[in-house]
Amino acid sequence: MFKLKGLKMKSVFKIFSIVLLSTVIFPLASHAEGNAANGEGIAKKKCRVCHTFAKGEKAKIGPNLYGVHGNKAAQKEGYKYSKGIIAADLTWDDATLDAYLLKPRDVVKRGKMVFAGFRKKI
């Protein structure tokens, strides 16, 4: 088998693969963290008027948003949801949240949310 200064080609390939993957994966991970931080800042500016975010906080005009990602919509106790959001039968995954935050009325007909939506994806 081919050797490169005492290393087998298989080992060289492994090292090369790790270096190559790390140059792709690490930048993507930091980009995702940047988006999360950006999203948190936007939520504090735009959403806090109507929503709360900490576990156990009482709902305001809109429901508390703690832990909604990955869960069914209209399930938080202590908030009276519209018939529209109940009938929509949504699960808050990335795609649903993206669509809803851009154009809430397109996703949920007869919903209570008065926010018209963001102009572009965050």
The pLDDT tens digits for 56-107 are 999 999 999 999 999 999 999 889 999 999 999 999 999 999 999 999 999 9
* Global confidence as pTM: 0.67
Residue 38 and residue 9: Cα distance in Å, rounded?
A: 44
Q: Are residues 52 and 84 in the same domain?
A: yes
pLDDT tens for each residue of 21-31: 444 444 444 44
Between 13 and 87, name the one with better pLDDT. Answer: 87
The pLDDT value recorded for residue 35 is: 74
Q: Are residues 65 and 26 in the same domain?
A: no
| Residue 1 domain flag | no
Q: Are residues 31 and 83 in the same domain?
A: no
Q: Are residues 56 and 108 in the same domain?
A: yes
| Residue 95 domain flag | yes
Q: Are residues 111 and 60 in the same domain?
A: yes
Q: Are residues 39 and 54 in the same domain?
A: no
Give the list of residues 6+ apart from residue 95 with CB closer than 8 angstroms, or none: none
The pLDDT value recorded for residue 28 is: 45
Q: Are residues 31 and 75 in the same domain?
A: no
